[in-house]
Amino acid sequence: MILLSLLLLQTSTREITFSFKPDHTVKSVSLAGSFNGWNKDATPLKPSVDGQAWTVRLSVPYGHQEYKFVIDGTDWIVDPKGKAIDDGNGHQNTLLLVVPPDFDRPASPNDGIVAASAVLHKPTASFLNYDRGALTIRLRTRANDVSGVSLITRTGIQPLELESSDDMYSTYAARVRWDRKTNIQYVFKIVDGAKTEWYGLDGLTKSTPAPFELEAKSFKPFEVAPWVEKGVIYQIFPDRFDNGDLSNDPADVQPWDGKPTYSNRFGGDVAGVRKHIGYLADLGIDAVYFNPVFKSPSNHRYDASDYMKIDPQFGTNAEFGQMTSELKAKGIRSVMDIAFNHTATDFPQFLDIRKNGAASPFTQWYFIKSYPVEVRENPPYVAWFNYPSMPKLNVMNPETHTYLLNVLHHWITDAPGVSGFRFDVANEIDQRFWRDVRKDLKATDPNIWIIGEEWGDASQWLQGDQWDASMNYPFREACLGFFATKGSTASQFTAALMANYHRYAPQVSRNMMNLLGSHDTARFLTLCKGDVASEELAAAVQFTWVGAPSIYYGDEIGMEGGVDPDNRRGMVWSNATPQNPVLQYYKKLIQTRKSSPALQSGDPRVLLSDDAKSTVVYARELDNDLAIVAINRSDSPQTISIHLPEIAPYSTVVRQGFLDALSGRQISVQGHELTLTLAPKSAEILRPMPSHVSSAPRRSGRVALSNLLRTS
């Protein structure tokens, strides 16, 4: 067991003063950001004596943070003194970089000074991870702060390779073959110019430290749902996919091509989905992610009135169960979306509180502030984003806790095709609940996929004890910046992809839901200003990068739509024809991915990032399989040359050449030099012509760890 109490006690926040000077008289100013759950009521600012300035000082975690000021509880604005960035949904946030005090000096790899606050290794999946027969051991330092890092074990001294860097941190990693039968002792050697420091059980030291020790018998690998990385996901907003049964329509059902609002319904239902199961199968879909289907007063159904009952306007429980069985028969799994953070105000337990007040037996199911409980502005109970219609559940109340776990088991049993759950605003729910959910669900079925909603860094939920994956909005942001807004360069794009990949254990990154759009974002094609070529380039990356690609219904036929609710238009089935080139392009991408183990499960390697030519080339490598993806974002043809690594599988592939899976064009390689001429705004996905065999890794001899420490 690794004891890291000293490391875990490191301070990880810094005091920041936020100030705002309004240009008109205001009643209140508050702060909402990534550091307080975007809760507009959590951090009020105090006015100065003269009322000219409003300020607040609070501890903010290190790293990239985003925030806005909220004026009079309704007007959200960026900090006029800060740096504004796009939030990925057509709005602006203020970016704040919070750094430790020892970052106040410039970083240098040769000044003999190591920023101690940045050096970190801990026993979590992000730093110590077993995957596919090897143990990856990582160490974090300040970016550009050290000249070298080595791992010292009984088997030898192994340099750590730089995996990723951003404007705060660098991560170094080494892979060690491990039989999971013997314990491993290790320390890190950190070189900064002429000085050497050590990092071990006692933290950062000037002399030989006590080593970390990993006990084989107590180590539990982080295992995720194995089917996800090989699959293609399709997201359906239930009310907008197709209206197959007019008899269950609401009285005020809108025309299918009507304008979406926050309240209207179009009549999409189970019958509409069943009608198009053949379409989904022909497209190559492996799993359908359904936005909520429970009885609810809203069209999005994130405020459930009854978790155990399908909304009658969507269908019946029996019809939903039959639909998942029919999907399963076609090889398509079902993933249900659930909001356990809050319910509707007509949820039975909340209704009882409204009726009986403090005498209700369900008062502990919610966070009641005062009685009587009335549904009104500034409600007397905790509500999501303070919306009165969404009272927050107390998931750790024993009765509530048991009930919610029973909801999950109910749907696994009642709908045989259900293979996973996506949890809404999961980052706002007590992590103890997620630990219990994982333990309970994985005991029932280890292949159940547990995915939580978190728009940023989801590391704290992805350490092996809570979720399998999260919705990969950082992937979307990287694609948005490179292909849609064109605000980032090729090197910034690949750096963002790699940093996001290395943020998690490899098996987690392979499990992430890689999306270009969702029910919460504007359509990607609309953000590309209708430029289909740019949207298709992003799709090419989506289907070839690490993670499970998720298609938001209609993206595959070129649907457009602005910010919510315009992004929730009715599916345009008249465009879902073989004559639609966008649909055919998506089918080709899906077929290409399914034919390549490397594109499903391979490790990534960036081969080229040319800012001047706006070109990117990366590879996916898996044992003896290989795929190379080349992207030209520019409006002109570009000729590029890449020196392929002189290792397997490249060393055998270069003799036979490649085949572009999109065009069918054959491409030869001269030595290890691959030269490509890419058309404007085009992608090529290169696959090796014949099969090939990779070589086995070399192993070093076993020596005493104490000797290595003395001689290194």
* Per-residue confidence (pLDDT) for residue 74, from 0 to 100: 87
Tokens of 599: 């594109």
288-317 burial by CB neighbour count: b if 16+ within 10 A, else e? bbbbbbbbbebbbbbbbbbbeebbebbbee
Q: Which part of the chain is CATH 3.90.400.10?
A: 342-394
**Residue whose tokens read 């010292």:** 152
Reference 17, options 96, 106, 102, 93; nearest CA is: 96
Q: Which part of the chain is CATH 3.20.20.80?
A: 230-340+406-594
Residues of the chain with pLDDT under 70: 1-11, 87-90, 690-712
* Per-residue confidence (pLDDT) for residue 123, from 0 to 100: 84
Distance CA 172, CA 604 (A): 16
**For residue 502, how many other CB atoms are within 10 A of its CB?**
19
Task: Name the helix (H) or strand (E) containing 674.
Answer: strand 673-678
49-83 burial by CB neighbour count: b if 16+ within 10 A, else e? eeeeebebeeebebbbbbbbbbbeeeebebbeebe
As assigned by CATH, the class of the 602-688 domain is mainly beta
**For residue 246, how many other CB atoms are within 10 A of its CB?**
10
The SS3 assignment for 593 reads: helix
Tokens of 76: 């959200």
Q: Which part of the chain is CATH 2.60.40.10?
A: 7-98, 116-218
Q: Which part of the chain is CATH 2.60.40.1180?
A: 602-688
Tokens of 481: 């910046």
In terms of pTM, does the model score above 0.95? no
Reference 621, options 646, 600, 594; nearest CA is: 600
Q: What is the CA radius of gyration of the chain?
A: 27
Query: pLDDT tens, 388-412?
Result: 999 999 999 999 999 999 999 999 9
| The CATH number, out of the four listed (3.20.20.80, 3.30.420.40, 3.40.50.300, 3.30.420.240), of the domain defined by the range 230-340+406-594 | 3.20.20.80
Query: pLDDT tens, 92-132?
Result: 899 999 999 999 999 999 999 999 999 999 888 889 999 99
| The CATH number, out of the four listed (1.10.645.10, 3.20.20.80, 2.60.40.10, 2.40.50.140), of the domain defined by the range 7-98 | 2.60.40.10
Q: Alpha-carbon dihedral of residues 648, 649, 654, 659, nearest 10 degrees?
A: -170
362: Cβ contacts below 8 Å, ≥ 6 apart = 349, 350, 352, 353
Active-site option among 453, 477, 520, 684? 453
Active-site option among 239, 303, 337, 424? 424
User: Active site includes 660?
Assistant: no
**Residue whose tokens read 């350490």:** 463
CA distances to 172, 175, 204, 707 from 157, in Å:
15, 12, 19, 11
**Residue whose tokens read 């194995």:** 226
Please provide residue 658's backbone torsions phi and psi, each rounded to the nearest 5 degrees.
-125, 165
Distance CA 651, CA 621 (A): 13
Q: In the 3-class helix/strand/coil scheme, how is 245-276 assigned residue by residue?
A: CHHHCCCCCCCCCCCCCCCCCCCCCHHHHHHC
* Per-residue confidence (pLDDT) for residue 641, from 0 to 100: 96
Distance CA 243, CA 258 (A): 13
User: Active site includes 453?
Assistant: yes
Under 8 Å between Cβ of 142 and 120: no
CA distances to 112, 131, 177, 186, 704 from 158, in Å:
22, 19, 12, 11, 14
Tokens of 353: 């509180």
In which order are the strands placed within the sheet that holds 658-660? 603-610, 615-622, 625-632, 682-688, 658-660, 666-667
Under 8 Å between Cβ of 673 and 617: no
Distance CA 698, CA 173 (A): 17
Q: Which CATH superfamily is domain 342-394 in?
A: Oligo-1,6-glucosidase; Domain 2 (3.90.400.10)
Under 8 Å between Cβ of 638 and 613: yes
DSSP letter at 582 equals H
Distance CA 310, CA 317 (A): 5
* Per-residue confidence (pLDDT) for residue 88, from 0 to 100: 60
Quick one: the chain helix, strand, coil %, rounded to 5? 25, 30, 45
What is the CATH T-level fold of the domain 116-218, as seen in this structure? Answer: Immunoglobulin-like (2.60.40)
β-pairing, 233-236 vs 658-660, is: unpaired
Query: pLDDT tens, 549-591?
Result: 999 999 999 999 999 999 999 999 999 999 999 999 999 999 9
